[in-house]
């Protein structure tokens, strides 16, 4: 299982939220590039970047920061948050990101999303953010009536990788929703899943690995010192 450190961006700064609440944003570093370079120095090869301004507004806001990180590090980057048009998608992909992570648009404009999947193939990854198993959109501000399992029953065969966040766990440092991820990996064995939200320790990561997750995104546990980066990089 690959551990992927996360950088969430609001107003150009590296922040973390609790349960998707923008009013809870805590700034950890004013320059996300410095955070990315520190991850790289410690041996990490991949980075998950979320443009929270973009996710909330519906269009990419912090594109310049993505460009900067791609230019000044060799990290493989997953980037999401506000990608809603083909022009924005192409602009993101031209930076050389490993994956463009698409969430809200897959639900609100499924026709365009599947066009992207077909056209850009391995570069598109679906992010499903959920609350009580219902998919949420628009930077976690809108809860739909779509159950994640009903959605994946229909589409999982078309998806090679899915990122999934239980937003009730995100930023709370009380452990991920292990039951959700266990059910996902068992029900859709041909789809790779990357877990996000709630990781608080290396023990949590070991449990996710034992479930069969392909990856785990870690944010606040790193910034708050719950996980030692040197130990983490040597373990994974």
Which listed residue (8, 51, 53, 78) is catalytic? 8
Local structure of 174: helix, strand or coil: coil
Pairwise CA distance, residues 204 & 207, whole Å: 5
Structure confidence by residue, pLDDT tens digits, 162-192: 999 999 998 778 999 999 999 999 999 999 9
Residue range 116-167, pLDDT digits in tens: 999 998 899 999 999 999 999 877 778 999 999 999 999 999 999 999 999 9
Q: Is 31 a catalytic residue?
A: no
46-51 vs 124-131, strand pairing mode: unpaired
Known catalytic membership, residue 8:
yes
Asked if the model's pLDDT at residue 233 lies above 80, the reply is no
- The model's pLDDT over 37-46, given as tens digits with 9 standing for 90+, comes to 999 999 999 9
Domain borders along the chain are: 2-235
Strand partners, 76: 46
For 186, counting Cβ atoms within 10 Å of its Cβ (0-12 exposed, 13-18 middle, 19+ buried), the class is exposed
Output the average pLDDT for the chain. 93
2-235 CATH, one of 3.30.70.20, 3.20.20.70, 4.10.520.10, 1.10.357.10: 3.20.20.70
The whole-number pLDDT of residue 109 equals: 95
Catalytically annotated residue among 51, 78, 129, 204: 129
Residue 186 near residue 210, CB atoms below 8 Å: no
Predicted model pTM = 0.92
Tokens of 192: 């790779």
Is residue 88's pLDDT more than 90? yes
């Amino acid at each position: 299982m690959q551990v992927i450190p996360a950088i969430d961006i609001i107003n150009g700064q590296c922040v973390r939220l609790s349960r998707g609440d923008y009013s809870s944003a805590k700034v950890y570093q004013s320059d996300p590039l410095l955070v990315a370079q520190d991850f790289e120095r410690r041996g990490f090869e991949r980075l998950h970047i979320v443009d929270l301004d973009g996710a909330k507004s519906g269009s990419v806001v912090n594109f310049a920061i993505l460009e900067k990180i791609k230019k000044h590090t060799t990290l493989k980057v997953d980037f999401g948050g506000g990608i809603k048009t083909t022009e924005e998608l192409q602009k993101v992909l031209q930076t050389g990101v490993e994956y463009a992570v698409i969430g809200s648009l897959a639900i609100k404009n499924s026709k365009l999303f599947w066009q992207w999947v077909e056209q850009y193939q391995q570069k598109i990854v679906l992010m499903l953010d959920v609350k009580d198993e219902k998919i949420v959109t628009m930077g976690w501000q809108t809860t739909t009536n779509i159950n994640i399992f009903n959605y994946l029953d229909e589409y999982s065969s078309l998806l090679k990788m899915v990122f999934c966040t239980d937003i009730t766990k995100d930023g709370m440092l009380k452990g991920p929703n292990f039951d959700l991820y266990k059910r996902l990996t068992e029900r859709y064995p041909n789809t790779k899943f990357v877990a996000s939200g709630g990781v608080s320790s290396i023990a949590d990561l070991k449990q996710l690995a034992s479930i069969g997750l392909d990856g785990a995104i870690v944010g606040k546990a790193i910034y708050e010192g719950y996980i030692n980066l040197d130990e983490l990089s040597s373990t994974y």
